Structure 1
Amino acid sequence: MTTFIAVLYIISFALFIYGLMGLTGPRTAVRGNWIAAVGMGIAVIATLLTPGMSNWLLIALGVAIGVVVGVPSARKVKMTAMPQMVALFNGVGGGAVALIAWVEFRTTEGYAHEPAYVAIASLFAAIVGSVSFWGSNIAFGKLQELISGRPITLGKLQQPVNALVLIAAIVFAVVIATGGDAELLMIGLLVAAGVLGVVVVLPIGGADMPVVISLLNALTGLSAAAMGLALDNTALIVAGMIVGASGSILTNLMAKAMNRSIPAIVAGGFGGGTAVASGGSGEVRPVRSTSASDTAIQMAYANKVVVVPGYGMAVAQAQHVVREMAKLLEAKGITVAYAIHPVAGRMPGHMNVLLAEADVPYEQLKEMDEINSEFAQTDVALVIGANDVTNPAAETDPGSPIYGMPILKVNHSRSVIVLKRSMSSGFAGIDNELFYDAKTSMLFGDAKSSVGEIVEELKAL
């Protein structure tokens, strides 16, 4: 039986890795998900076959509750709410690890007679899992707008408080590892780690939320791997390390895409404020409005159009009508491409997922480094709900909070049309200088309705 279980685990790990490889592109992502899901199913079966497994009623009850809650939630969630669900599900994983560490503490009487590595790995998993759970819940609240997207800080006390609760969690862990078996010690550790998760994420603004989600995901993976080490569970170790490693790489790539360091983000990000359409002296600055008819005419006579999607497109669920517009333009011999910024939207790959859902050809999706050199040859850049990732202040204003962040250089296009509901700011809470550029026209309204009107005008031309 031991050999059979080991073989099942090896098969499941191979499927994990092969499934992950499928996530590199929209065309293979669904298949990759299914392959990884099968691998997880095999890993669960292997775990249940482990000698000494008992409490089958509780196991069945837990599986049933997970299915009843998870499946309907995943099927009904809107694409605009997907980042919130990712944050919530990720947090649940961290919380589960923290609870398992607590159970292990109870069943071993404070890790008495257990090897030192078991206690250390379990306590590490408890701290990181609790941080991930509570931090992910704060991220969920910010994304769902249950909590203000603005940085919520303690001012000068922020870093001392962070350090204090971290030290408290470590002290509890050291006392337990050196022989303390009072249950209040473990509860204190979990509470201190939970407070740390809350006070670390609250000061981080909306502009940094995609990076935070990725970072918390990586932490959950590392906590699962540590718990797997403590429990001698190969599936937890391998799956946790895959999640931790891939999440860490993604977090680093996203931080670089914003030209920000991960410590700077954790120390307190920016974003979530409100801006007014005014210059430094407080005067109202004029913008040039346009209509769907004029936009359609302008694009119909273009050679190349680049669509720049942002969270506004996701909110309006405009991806399908955008695809319809692109087909009409392509039928007229116009080249259409989509400019994708690494942190556009509210989670990694948000725009790619939306556009893949609308059957946009993968070849038309251009990453920032690739498309920026093409804007100078672009006749019309159509910005749909994107804000901070197109703001020229990132390159021109040293005093701007986003200065130095790589952006999509749509201002290099021959003309720019921005679709927005209003002049409100993006996640960073600052004015977008692009809106006041002489070559920019604003088409105000719901993105889906506006693009729908453009489609009708294109059909009439």
Structure 2
Amino acid sequence: MDFGFTTAAYVVAAVLFILSLGGLSGQESAKRAIWYGIAGMTLAVLATLFGPGVGLWLLSLILIAGGGVIGVIVAKRVQMTEMPQLVAAMHSLVGLAAVFVGYNAHFEIGRVAQAFAEAGTLFPRPAVEAEAAAVAESFRGFAAIVAHKTQAEINVLRLELFLGVFIGAITFTGSVVAYGKLAGKVTSAATKLPGGHLLNAAAAIGSALCLVWFFGSGGFFPLFLMTLLSLFIGYHLIMGIGGADMPVVVSMLNSYSGWAAAAIGFSLSNDLLIVVGALVGSSGAILSYIMCKAMNRNFVSVILGGFGGSQGPAQEMEGEMVATDADAVASALDEADSVIIVPGYGMAVAQAQNAVSELTRKLRGKGKEVRFAIHPVAGRLPGHMNVLLAEAKVPYDIVLEMEEINDDFPDTDVVIIIGSNDIVNPAAQDDPNSPIAGMPVLEVWKAKDVFVCKRGQGTGYSGIENPLFFKDNTRMLYGDAKASIEGLLSRISS
């Protein structure tokens, strides 16, 4: 097959990826959008495999088969509660791939340059010297592309691979740390080494100096040194971010992985990789910006890892947590006319979405108004709660975003909170020293009665105390969320 067919296939694949991204913005179209993405990726892989200059068929087929088997195993084993960790792990692989491709490009440039030197001609002037043209035609694949470039183009290629390795290395270690925080294997608290942001700045300046060195010498050592520095930047950036802000971290790393892929696409002269990388990078950046607005964070501060830490001593908690039981909650629901359910990560952990869906169906069957309030960063991944509720067949029209429902809490009889903490924390409005100060939250405390389904009295993943639990109109329903909701189902009158 020729370049024309490959380019045409890449254009069709890019269109499918754009349709996929557009469809994922709505719950009704999300399933169709996923199939667009699958079709686009299948076409892209086939077009690459059958494109010009491709060899090593046996190795390619073995790697594709191996990756497919691993993908099936992961898909069967990973629960919805573990999706944020899986996304972070996937980002780390994209970053690592960018590093390896960048190193390979560097070695290929060196190999072609050595061949020209041995032929006694200048590298790479095939249009001027017959000897150079003969050397250029002896290469295949990426080396052939390199051999036909001018010196100015080679310099641009070196810049592209340098940036690809830099962004990829940051993405790799940052994603590994994010995975550790999300999986509970690394402390969720914001942790910085002595020197804080000065260390990050020094590493960034060192990387810039390595770029100058790399252009001057073309050697391997400045590229390797820059890789070590960027690996440290990725580690230290994400370690300095607290657990409350991890949803933003996931989308930010998604953006980083996209830009790394785009940079490597330029190095490989692969138009589709450039387009897809730009789509992922820009969409991740836009999502990060939207989430920063939802959390009242500064976007630049997010990119630099300067958020998530405590600003001072938190306010003292007044009152006490008052426990209740399923009978009292069921009685309140029987008497209520309007109910708002606020799902959080606790619902995902307990896999309580189906029980919540059945509770919703039963309450609506009795003529009660039941709606769901979704905060932009509920769970540990954007859209996490929407996916769980859609999986449990909760009607889309009663699942509302924060700005659509926040003004309705004063007129609501009962609010049921299932495993949420920070997104319903009044300290965001009342305590200027809180790590989440200024973050828009669901104002659930304005409802008549608030019931919180919670496993215990701990502060939760982010480690932030919640004054809501101590308010006079709040009662705590302790226990596993699924068991608690199923207990309510058996007590609500038909």
The answer to whether residue 168 in structure 2 is matched with residue 134 in structure 1 is no
Matching residue within 270, 285, 293 for 1:256 = 293
1:2 Cα shift? 2.0
1:399 Cα shift? 2.2
Q: Contact (CA 8 Å) 1:206, 1:427: kept in 2 or not?
A: yes
Aligned partners of 1:61 and 1:196: how far apart in 2? 35
Aligned partners of 2:441 and 2:166: how far apart in 1? 36
User: What SS does the aligned partner of 1:204 have?
Assistant: coil
User: What SS does the aligned partner of 2:110 have?
Assistant: coil
Aligned partners of 2:61 and 2:208: how far apart in 1? 35
The answer to whether residue 229 in structure 2 is matched with residue 195 in structure 1 is no
1:111 Cα shift? 8.8
Aligned partners of 1:103 and 1:386: how far apart in 2? 46
Unaligned runs of 5+ in 1: none
Matching residue within 412, 432, 436 for 1:378 = 412
Structure 2 equivalent of residue 395 of structure 1: 429
Aligned partners of 2:112 and 2:106: how far apart in 1? 6
Unaligned runs of 5+ in 2: 114-123, 125-150
Aligned partners of 1:80 and 1:110: how far apart in 2? 47
User: What SS does the aligned partner of 2:29 have?
Assistant: helix
Aligned partners of 1:259 and 1:427: how far apart in 2? 20
User: What SS does the aligned partner of 1:355 have?
Assistant: helix
Aligned partners of 2:394 and 2:111: how far apart in 1? 55
Structure 1 equivalent of residue 205 of structure 2: 167
Structure 2 equivalent of residue 222 of structure 1: 259
Aligned partners of 1:175 and 1:184: how far apart in 2? 9
1:26 Cα shift? 2.2
The answer to whether residue 218 in structure 2 is matched with residue 180 in structure 1 is yes
Q: Percent identity?
A: 40
Query: 4+ residue stretches of structure 1 with deviation over 3 A?
Result: 110-114, 265-269
Structure 1 equivalent of residue 270 of structure 2: 233
TM-score, normalised on structure 1? 0.94
1:426 Cα shift? 3.3
Alignment of 1:264-303 (within 5 A): 264-265=301-302, 266-270=304-308, 280=316, 285-303=319-337
Structure 2 equivalent of residue 59 of structure 1: 60
The answer to whether residue 448 in structure 2 is matched with residue 448 in structure 1 is no
1:451 Cα shift? 0.5
User: What SS does the aligned partner of 1:423 have?
Assistant: coil
Which amino acid is 1:168 matched to?
G
Write the deviation string for residues 163-220 of structure 1: whole angstroms up to 9, x where unpaired. Answer: 1222222222222223322x23322222211111111111111111111111111011
Structure 2 equivalent of residue 32 of structure 1: 33
Which amino acid is 1:108 matched to?
I
Alignment of 1:8-87 (within 5 A): 8-87=9-88
Aligned partners of 1:424 and 1:110: how far apart in 2? 59
1:110 Cα shift? 8.4
The answer to whether residue 202 in structure 2 is matched with residue 153 in structure 1 is no
User: What SS does the aligned partner of 1:326 have?
Assistant: helix
Which amino acid is 1:378 matched to?
T
1:229 Cα shift? 1.2
Write the deviation string for residues 319-361 of structure 1: whole angstroms up to 9, x where unpaired. Answer: 1100011111001000110000001110111111111111111
Q: Contact (CA 8 Å) 2:375, 2:402: kept in 1 or not?
A: yes
Aligned partners of 2:435 and 2:280: how far apart in 1? 31
Q: Contact (CA 8 Å) 1:210, 1:346: kept in 2 or not?
A: yes
The answer to whether residue 74 in structure 2 is matched with residue 105 in structure 1 is no
Which amino acid is 1:144 matched to?
A
Q: Contact (CA 8 Å) 1:110, 1:180: kept in 2 or not?
A: no
Aligned partners of 1:352 and 1:110: how far apart in 2? 51
Aligned partners of 2:223 and 2:192: how far apart in 1? 28
Matching residue within 331, 340, 344 for 1:310 = 344
Q: Contact (CA 8 Å) 1:206, 1:271: kept in 2 or not?
A: no
Q: Contact (CA 8 Å) 1:135, 1:198: kept in 2 or not?
A: yes
- Number of residues paired by the alignment? 453
Which amino acid is 1:17 matched to?
I
Matching residue within 326, 345, 357 for 1:323 = 357
Q: Contact (CA 8 Å) 1:271, 1:429: kept in 2 or not?
A: no
Aligned partners of 2:323 and 2:263: how far apart in 1? 56
Name the CA shift for 1:425/1:122 in 2 (closer, same or farther; >3 Å).
same
Which amino acid is 1:398 matched to?
P
Aligned partners of 1:321 and 1:441: how far apart in 2? 20
Q: Larger C-alpha radius of gyration, 1 or 2?
A: 2
Q: Contact (CA 8 Å) 1:311, 1:385: kept in 2 or not?
A: yes
Write the deviation string for residues 285-310 of structure 1: whole angstroms up to 9, x where unpaired. Answer: 32222111110110111111000001
Name the CA shift for 1:95/1:300 in 2 (closer, same or farther; >3 Å).
same
Aligned partners of 2:446 and 2:207: how far apart in 1? 51
Q: Contact (CA 8 Å) 2:327, 2:488: kept in 1 or not?
A: yes
Q: Contact (CA 8 Å) 2:315, 2:431: kept in 1 or not?
A: no
1:121 Cα shift? 1.2
Which amino acid is 1:107 matched to?
E
Which amino acid is 2:295 matched to?
M
Q: Contact (CA 8 Å) 2:415, 2:447: kept in 1 or not?
A: yes
Aligned partners of 2:69 and 2:464: how far apart in 1? 42
Alpha-carbon RMSD across the aligned residues, in angstroms, is 1.9
Name the CA shift for 1:111/1:24 in 2 (closer, same or farther; >3 Å).
farther
